Structure 1
């Protein structure tokens, strides 16, 4: 796959929140990461508005184990609320993804240097990411490192097929779709021999509008080109 990257992400806990459980404050994690959560992890590793990160597949390495905890969420109206959150314990995943240029952003045409973006992305994965990594929510710290997708023993390598029902695939934002609205995508994931192959966002047939939204404007005044970033890293390496 052109401009591909392979990495492993892991942590002590993950909370890929099922939105149906958020209304009452008793958050329950999906059993597997959503496309959007893995895309968010990749964008924490390396993000530019020039690019669209595409998650191709995820391999579940550790057995899916859930653990419930009593949590005291912030209550801005006062009081001392106690909630019950259900997390995934000891999550570990191998991820294969790639990037494409965001052709809806003509304002970022000056930053389309495929080779340098790919090098910067690989460098960022090796460094553990340019920003903090979270597995679903901020309290679930994650860690990223390079890997070879498919290497090692996974907990579900011998499970032919496992269905996870109806769940969120991800969020559509206007700068990626060209539509001035935020939308949510739904799908029905299936894991085969430990691997979930994601359909592309535009292939999702179940799309619901959330709200109207305008894309943020970027240009050379507020976004540094990859050539400039690459040159800075080269100078730092010489020092």
Structure 2
């Protein structure tokens, strides 16, 4: 590998990023960057920084200052802003960029998906009739549902949501996946969930809820992924490791 490519910045916060840093071959100087939205992130075996860079310009300056040879964008499929900033910063600095783009989920027979272009569309898809809704969209997105206070909400997130969803009937559950199908099926049934709202995150870690909803014949409001820049990409951490070795 060229010495200029031995210093790597990994934009993380996902299982793919964790698998990548744990599988890095010797001799690479890698830094893992997290958005800083989780108060107690899992410890990783590489130096880790937390917080934003200050947009594309700030990221570009950080890349130059730290003599980064390549950037691997292993952020969440819904982290559109940092992916756009990474593409812009790498283009401006002439830095090699690879994205890990986990495949989206596709419906299978038995699924009752309701397509939603964004969170606002997901709120409308719930309708006016009060129902018990399971929100698994993350604490930063739950506020969109405040305009539909007639529903009874169950929210699961890694971090406490505070007052992000000011509605009369709200149950919050702090938990971190993965969650298996059996546990999710029991959870949905015991809580009397009528509708599941989910981002189309893809991957295995949170698919249990989708399979559980299918088993219980529950509708799922599935929020589409935001658009991301067209850059070189692989599907998983193994693909990124192969890419690094090829350098």
- Normalized against structure 1, the TM-score is what? 0.23
Higher strand share: 1
Higher helix share: 2
Instruction: Between the two structures, name the one with larger relative contact order (CA 8 Å, sep ≥ 6).
Output: 1
